[in-house]
Every structure is written in structure tokens, then in C-alpha cells.
Structure 1
């Protein structure tokens, strides 16, 4: 256990070092000059001397590796800097918007589970029946329709025409319905067909026939054996597609004017707010890393064969 813990710590350290360096390099090499944005050169008359003075004060005249070294030292001290635009600490801004993003992410996952598990299970149980064909059609439509276009349809139907739900802001559970359903339906198409395929494979295994021979009920066989055995591939794909889920959250937050960190970073990119962009990338990368690690650890519970193999390998 200690060896696994030490290995995880080394993985985290290398992961953070790689992500921070690559993100720092890409952000600094992106077009645009934050100094000109800060000075509002489009609205004010600013001399070149003032521009160069501010650039020197902010350290932009130093080599990129030196700038990265200074930023990394601040990060080790848990100092993410301050926003160029608002002057507020970056971590405070991220922590302020993170709950809204987590709410939207959890809401989307709940919608995805509500749609995927019943539909994928029914498609497997009633293979080549009308429910299976319906799930295939819905999966194709879900994969083909972009989430932002689906969101626009929902806004026009439920907010503009029917006036049932709000279109923007974060004002309780009602404001969460449209963005969560939009993103949840957009990502559920993959998991419906994946769960169906995994369940069909599980239902054909020897242990299912052995469970039936022991007289277990079909409901218990399905829930306790087939469904559990079919979850590892689904969780694997979820871990891999987590990045696209976070990207979808950003799009949906902008579309519905939802005040999460996705909308915050889009504004930061437009304003060349380097500290806020880097803080967002690092926080999201750590969240993805933690979730993927949790996915790996969950295999030990969902797949006893893996745990048994580890015991045999360790002697």
C-alpha cells in the first residue's frame, strides 16, 4: 500500500509539472498582448514607453523559462497570482465559480445515468426489438447533434415559446434544468450503446449460466452479476471522455450564461488574462487526474478478477 501511495505521489508530481509547463508555454505563445488589454489601448492613448514599462514590471521581457520558474515557485507556495483584469486572487475567482460548474457537471451526469442505464439495459434485454432500434436511433441523433445546437432548440422551445424555464443565470434548481438536460442528453448517446454491448457480452458469460443453474432470480442475476460485470468498460470510457465532458460544460455555461468557471475562462481568454487561464487549466487537469485515478481504483471493486490477479502477482 505504501509503495502504491508513493507511486501515486510521483505520478501527481510529474503530471503537474508537465501540465503546468505545457499550458504556460501555449498560453504565453498565443496571439495577443495582455499589456495592451490592461492599458485599454483601444480606448486610451498610451505611449510605447508606458507599454514597455508595464511589460517589464510584469516580467514579460524575461525568457519564457525564467517566467515559468517564477510562476512555478509561486504555485509551490499555493500562490496562483492575481487576475490582470479584476485584480482579484485567481484561486478566489476559481473557487467562487467552481461550485456552479460542479453543479452543472453533476446534473448532467445524473441526466446521463437516468437516460443511459434504463435505455441501454432495455436494449440489451430486448435485443433487436423496437426498444433496441429506438436506442440506436437516439444514439445516432445524440452523436450527430452538437450540444450547443440542442441547447438553442431547448431555449427556443421551453424558454421562449412555452416560457417554462429561465434561459440564463444561476437561480436555484430551475436554472439548472435546461443546461443539465442539454449536456446530459448530448453525452448519453455514447453510453447507451456501450452499456448495451457490454451487457450483451456479460449475459453470454459462463457465470451467468451458472447463476441461473443455482436458481437465482433473473432480476438478481441482472443487477448483481451482469450489470456489475458490464460497468468497467463504461467507466473506462467515462474516464477517457472526461475531457470532452468538461469542454461541453464550458460551451453550455457560455450558451446559458451560467456563472461557472467555464464562462469565467472564456472571458479570461478573450481578455488575455494569463494567471486566470493557467489557474483554470491546472485545476481542471487535477480534477481529471483525480477522477481517472478514482476510476482505476474502482476496478478493484467492480472487477474482482483484477484484485485476484494483483494478489497473484505480488505472490
Structure 2
């Protein structure tokens, strides 16, 4: 365990060094000048001297590596700087919007689990039956329909025509239902087919036949052995596709005007708010890294073979 934690700490250090440089470089190379945006030159008359003065004040006249070094020094102190638009600390703005994004992500994951586990399990247990066929059709439709189009359908049906649920803002549980359904259904199709395939592979293993020979009930065989054995591939794909999930959260937050950090960063991109964009990238990168680390550590519990291999290696 000490070796694993040491290796993870080294990975965190190298990962953060890489992601800070890449995020800083990409944001700085993006088209547009934040100085012109801050001064609002489209509506106000601004002299070239004022532009150069603000550019020097913000450090944009220094070499790029010097700017990165100064920014990295502040980042190590957990100082992401202030927003160019609002003047508020970036960390405070992210912490204000982060709970809403976490709520939406968890809501989508709950919908995904409610949909994918029963459909994937029944499809594997009743292979080539009508349940399997219906599950396959629903999975294909879910993969083919873009999340934003599904969200527009939900807004029109449940918000406009039936007037059952709110379609904008964050005002209690009811405001979370439509965004969570939209994102959860959009990502569940992948996991239905993946869980079905993994369960079929597990049910064909030798240890399943041995469990049946010992007289274990089918329920115990399925839940205690086959289902647990089928989880590592599903969790692996989840760790890999977490970036897509975060991207989906951004789209859904904009569509439903949900006040999370996804909507916040879209406004920041439009306004060339560099500190807020970089802060968002780093926070999301850390979240993805933490989740993937948890996925790696979960293998030790879900797959006992890894423990045996580690013992043999040591």
C-alpha cells in the first residue's frame, strides 16, 4: 500500500505540473485579447496608452514562461487569482458553483444506475428474449440522440406542454429532475450494453459452473459472484469517460440555465476571463484524477486476483 500511495503521489505531482502548463498555454494562445474585453472597447473610447498600461499592469507584456512561473507560484499557494470580469477571487466563484454541478452529476449518475443496472442485468439473464431486444433498441436510441436534443424534448413536454417541472434555474429538487434525467439517460445507453456484455462473460466462467455444482442459489451466484466479477470493466469505462460526462454537464447546465461551474466557464470563455477558465480546468482535472485513482484502488476489492499478484510480486 505504501508503494501504491508513493507512486500515486508522484503521478499527482507530474500530472499537476503538466496540466497547469497545458491549460496556461492553451488559454494564452486562444484568439482574443482579454485587455480589450475588460476595457469594453466596443462600447467605450479607449486610447492605446490605456490599453498598454492595463496590459503592463496585468503582466501580459512579460515573456510567456515568466507569466507561467508567476501564475504557478500563486497556484501552489491555492491562489487562482481574480476574475477579469467580476474582480472576485476565482476560487470563491468556483466553490459557489461547484455544489450545483456536483448535484447535477450525482443526479445523472443515479439515473444512469437506475436505468443501466436493471436493463443490463435482465438483458444478460434473459439473453435474446424480448427484454434483451427492447434493451438493445433503447440503448441504440440513447446513443443516437444527442443530450441537448433530448433536453429540448423534456423542456417542451414537461415544462411547456404539461407544466409539471421547472426548466430553468436551481430551486429545489424539482429543478434537478429534468437536467438529471437528460444527462443520465444520455450516458446510460453505453453502460447497459457494457454491463450486459460483461455479465455474459462472467456467467460463462468456470467459477460460476463450480458455484452451481456446489448447489448455490442462482440469486447468490448472480449477485455475489457474477455481478461483482463484471464490475471492473464497467468501472474502467466510467473512469475513462468521466471527461465526457463533465462535458455533458456543461451542455446541460447551459441548456437548463443551471447555475453550476459549467455555465460559469462558458460565460468565462466568451468574456476571455483567463483566471476563471484556468481555475475550472484545474479543478476538473483534479476531480478526474481523484476519481480515476479511486477506480484503480477499487480493483483491489472487486478483483481479488490483483491482491494475489501483489503478494506474489512482494
**Could you say which TM-score interval applies, normalised by the shorter chain?**
over 0.9
Q: Which runs of 5+ in 2 are unaligned?
A: none
Cα distance between partner residues in 2 of 1:66 and 1:258? 37
Residue in structure 2 matched with residue 88 of structure 1 by the alignment: 88
Residue in structure 2 matched with residue 106 of structure 1 by the alignment: 106
Residue in structure 2 matched with residue 214 of structure 1 by the alignment: 214
Structural mapping, 1:50-129, within 5 Å? 50-129=50-129
User: 1:97-147: per-residue Cα shift (whole Å, max 9, x none)?
Assistant: 000000000000000000000000000001001111111111111111100
Residue in structure 2 matched with residue 182 of structure 1 by the alignment: 182
Residue in structure 1 matched with residue 192 of structure 2 by the alignment: 192
User: 1:235-259: per-residue Cα shift (whole Å, max 9, x none)?
Assistant: 0000000000000000000000000
Residue in structure 2 matched with residue 288 of structure 1 by the alignment: 288
Structural mapping, 1:113-262, within 5 Å? 113-262=113-262
Quote the offset at 1:78 in angstroms.
Answer: 1.1
Quote the offset at 1:41 in angstroms.
Answer: 0.6
Moved more, 261-270 or 206-215: 206-215
Cα distance between partner residues in 2 of 1:311 and 1:128? 41
Q: Secondary structure at the match of 2:41?
A: coil
Quote the offset at 1:307 in angstroms.
Answer: 1.1
Cα distance between partner residues in 2 of 1:288 and 1:34? 28
Cα distance between partner residues in 2 of 1:300 and 1:56? 53
Q: Secondary structure at the match of 2:87?
A: coil
Quote the offset at 1:8 in angstroms.
Answer: 1.2
Cα distance between partner residues in 1 of 2:65 and 2:153? 47
Residue in structure 1 matched with residue 275 of structure 2 by the alignment: 275
Structural mapping, 1:17-32, within 5 Å? 17-32=17-32
Cα distance between partner residues in 1 of 2:35 and 2:294? 41
Cα distance between partner residues in 2 of 1:139 and 1:64? 47
Normalised TM-score (structure 2): 0.99
User: 1:45-98: per-residue Cα shift (whole Å, max 9, x none)?
Assistant: 001110011001000011111100000000111111000011100000000000
Cα distance between partner residues in 2 of 1:262 and 1:130? 40
Normalised TM-score (structure 1): 0.99
Runs of 4+ in structure 1 deviating by more than 3 angstroms, as ranges, are none
Cα distance between partner residues in 1 of 2:189 and 2:113? 11
User: 1:13-50: per-residue Cα shift (whole Å, max 9, x none)?
Assistant: 10000001001000000001100110011110001110
Q: Secondary structure at the match of 1:61?
A: coil
Quote the offset at 1:192 in angstroms.
Answer: 0.2
Residue in structure 1 matched with residue 12 of structure 2 by the alignment: 12
Quote the offset at 1:5 in angstroms.
Answer: 1.8
Question: How many residues are matched?
Answer: 314
Quote the offset at 1:195 in angstroms.
Answer: 0.2
